[in-house]
Amino acid sequence: MMGFLSKIFSSGAKTPAQKSIEPEVAAAALLVEAALADGIYADIESDQIAMILLESFDFDAARADSVLAQGEALAEEAVDAHQFTKHVKKLPMDQRISIIEGLYLVAFADGEKCPIEDAFIRHVAGLLHVEDVPRAGARKRAQARADGQSR
């Protein structure tokens, strides 16, 4: 009976958590989600995300743009961060910490500190099993980079 009811009420479309998503695309979606946390997705943030993808995954520009576009599309239909962290957790810990640093870089890109973005990053770090000390180190490195870029 329950199976019948769930078939009637479900659209049949899979959520991002149910789909097979490359960890790098899921990471791009998280980066876009961080940029959207304050309600504004500026060009400077999308440029920052493309740079993070280039550095973190050693992509060429075309691949970074493609992954970013896929991440943006996924972020548009996102319900929560868990649907992406499930896939990002497949990456080694050093890459997950790099993604946390990237999330902070995106948050700092517009030059304004936003408590909503900070809370989002803390939440994602927890879901990725990144402890507080490595997360704080990632934030410090991102802040130093952001300070160096603004000069």
What's the pLDDT tens digit per position in 49-88? 999 999 999 999 999 999 999 999 999 888 888 999 999 9
pLDDT of residue 138: 97
Backbone dihedral angles phi then psi of residue 11, each to the nearest 5 degrees: -80, -10
| pLDDT at position 141 over 90 | yes
Domain covering 20-149 assigned CATH 1.10.3680.10 in the classification: yes
| pLDDT at position 16 over 50 | no
Contact of 33 with 120, CB cutoff 8 Å: yes
Query: CA-to-CA distance for 110 and 35, rounded, in angstroms?
Result: 9
Contact of 52 with 65, CB cutoff 8 Å: no
Confidence of residue 151 (pLDDT cuts 50, 70, 90): low
| pLDDT at position 137 over 70 | yes
Mean pLDDT, rounded, of the chain = 87
Query: CA-to-CA distance for 24 and 18, rounded, in angstroms?
Result: 16
